[in-house]
Structure 1
Amino acid sequence: MQIGVVFPQSELGGDAGAVRHYGQAVEQQGYRHLLVYDHVVGADPDVHAPWRGPYDVDTTFHEPFVLFGFLAGLTSLELVTGVIILPQRQTALVAKQAAEVDLLTEGRFRLGIGVGWNQVEYDALDQDFTTRGRRSGEQVELMRRLWTERSVDATVDGERVHGAGIAPLPVQRPIPVWFGCSSPPAYRRAGRLGDGWFPQVQPGPDLDAARAVVDGAARDAGRDPAALGMEGRVSWRGDTDETVAAVEQWRAAGATHLSVNTMGAGLTSVDQHVAVLDELAAALPSG
């Protein structure tokens, strides 16, 4: 099981030095990948009251593709979006940005995608919130063509690519696409189209039920469920032994990848995040 980290961007602000220090430190500690969350805009709670979302206009988010261009020159980590809100973006532009990151990382890139929950963000980007599930599946199919074909002719939800392509093509053809999943429709899309998936539940009955849907959709599409990757996430809350035990639960559940999250634990500096991850790296078994 490959173990990486969740970039704690909501707690590091806009400090480019913190980004550099964090990325280089976790690579030296032996972590294999860095996963980044995505939001383009945040909602102002005073305008959108009552606001119940986990993030708002004051929560800091780096733009993942630009951030990855920076990190690609600083580390050899695999870079992972976890997840890009794909349906609120132009398909060809995402394909181009992803191809560039894949080139800069020499193929160490996974494109995690999801449909999101924030209609305010969709409105700001002039996309339809209500059709995001269907649109995301069509977008994945078009992106894979753009990553592997010189010239493409296709239409996705009103976006027409007519006799056009991107150059240079990525190293990985196609780039692996992983699905963020928190509902049966998303589980089915992951099984039908994904190279892997990010469950939003923990090991146990809920994960077993979700995986049954993913695996069933894969088989219905003529695919081998065993070929799909699965990435878990464990949040550190002050107890290293507890965190290591949670990591081992994911290993026993068959996860191929796992990310350790240190956000939300009261850490106030990049050095504190790095120190916790250093302690965890020493406690985690290798392999």
Structure 2
Amino acid sequence: MRELKVGLHIPQIGATATPGVVEGFARAAEEAGFDSLWVFDHVVLPREQRTPYPSSDDGKIGYPHTSNLLEPLMLLPFVAAVTSRIAIGTSVLVLPMRQPVLHAKMLATLDHLSNGRLIAGLGTGWWKEEFEVLGVPFEHRGRRMDESIELMQALWRDEYADFHGEFFHCEGWACNPKPVNGRIPIWIGGESPSQLRRVGRYADAWHAGARTLPNVPQLFEVAREAAAKAGRDASRLQLTLEGAAFLRGASMERTAETLTSVAGIGVDHAIAILDRAEYGEQGEATIRLFGERYLPAIHAL
């Protein structure tokens, strides 16, 4: 088995998405020995949802449009400022909705200020209405994502970036500071054939979803084959898992068993979700107790 790293989603939506709760949660996770903290990406919420959410049985997103929803790239700097060691990341940033030059700069700045702790989890998105309200064509999101990744990597890598694509153009522009470690790790989510090919071309990790768990080994092999076809070292491609487990104070042993089982199929980094009912002091206690009782053994897998 590989060594398993474990992350947690940050309180980002609803009444508990407050400075005090977020700070306490982040500090508790770092002190307990968790490896990473994560945010998801939506900008606005509609009065009526038309596009079904692909990761739920009923197609609903699971929270009302009146909920407070913190913007991910504004939330992560706050988290970075109240922690010092734990990795921070997006799971996932809907890259085709966002302007790549601006976001190359934002992500590099965040990586710089967090001393190289940033992981960029990226996805193509599913919510057509959200693309529409942002003025971005939903139909071209795959090609826009490819160009965005290539352009951002050029801006992070080159002294002066030159890029000419279908949607974006850049000639002789410098983006500084550069990422602390020379690059920002990219995880790509999604399980469609085109997305797995994209993982093979660009990603450091395939960021699988828990709903696809029964098929993860086979799909990961497809991504590895795509990496080899792209001339990359397929053995270096990592497997990560979103929504790997739910953490509750009353069922921590079950959470540990679930994480142990995903380590057995080769997952390198698993992201768990704390029960929202426990956000606040109760959740901090759960996080610390889980870290004390179970994380050392999980890290040793």
TM above 0.5: yes
Residue matched to 1:253? 265
Which one is further off, 100-109 or 128-137?
128-137
In 1, Cα distance between equivalents of 2:272 and 2:214: 22
Q: 1:155 to 1:125 in 2, by over 3 A?
A: farther
* Counterpart pick for 1:167 among 172, 176, 183: 176
Residue matched to 1:42? 45
Contact 2:11 2:279 in 1 (8 A): no
Structure 2: tracts of 5 or more residues without a match: 54-58
In 2, Cα distance between equivalents of 1:59 and 1:212: 39
Residue matched to 2:31? 28
SS at match of 2:122: strand
Q: 1:266 to 1:31 in 2, by over 3 A?
A: closer
Contact 2:147 2:167 in 1 (8 A): no
In 2, Cα distance between equivalents of 1:48 and 1:161: 36
* Counterpart pick for 2:11 among 4, 8, 21: 8
In 2, Cα distance between equivalents of 1:166 and 1:181: 29
In 2, Cα distance between equivalents of 1:10 and 1:249: 29
Q: 1:22 to 1:205 in 2, by over 3 A?
A: closer
Letter in structure 2 aligned against 1:139: S
Which one is further off, 230-239 or 90-99?
230-239
Residue matched to 2:135? 126
Contact 1:12 1:269 in 2 (8 A): no
Deviation, structure 1 residue 266: 5.4
In 1, Cα distance between equivalents of 2:52 and 2:122: 28
1:234 equivalent to 2:241? Answer no
In 1, Cα distance between equivalents of 2:60 and 2:174: 38
1:223 equivalent to 2:226? Answer no
In 2, Cα distance between equivalents of 1:49 and 1:84: 18
1:45-97 Cα offsets, whole Å, 9 max, x none, are 2x859994415522433222221222222102110110000001101011001
1:64 equivalent to 2:72? Answer yes
SS at match of 2:108: helix
Letter in structure 2 aligned against 1:163: G
1:206 equivalent to 2:218? Answer no
In 2, Cα distance between equivalents of 1:253 and 1:49: 32
In 1, Cα distance between equivalents of 2:18 and 2:210: 32
* Counterpart pick for 1:194 among 196, 203, 209: 203
Deviation, structure 1 residue 113: 0.4
| Aligned residue-pair number | 284
Deviation, structure 1 residue 15: 1.3
1:215-248 Cα offsets, whole Å, 9 max, x none, are 1111111122220122222223652222111100
1:282 equivalent to 2:292? Answer yes
Q: 1:42 to 1:155 in 2, by over 3 A?
A: farther
In 2, Cα distance between equivalents of 1:124 and 1:272: 38
Contact 1:84 1:112 in 2 (8 A): yes
Which one is further off, 6-15 or 128-137?
6-15
In 2, Cα distance between equivalents of 1:30 and 1:282: 8
Letter in structure 1 aligned against 2:271: S
Give % identity: 30
Residue matched to 2:56? none
1:273 equivalent to 2:283? Answer yes
Contact 2:201 2:227 in 1 (8 A): yes
Residue matched to 1:140? 149
Letter in structure 2 aligned against 1:272: Q
Letter in structure 1 aligned against 2:123: G
Contact 1:148 1:169 in 2 (8 A): yes
In 1, Cα distance between equivalents of 2:191 and 2:284: 29
Structure 1: tracts of 5 or more residues without a match: none
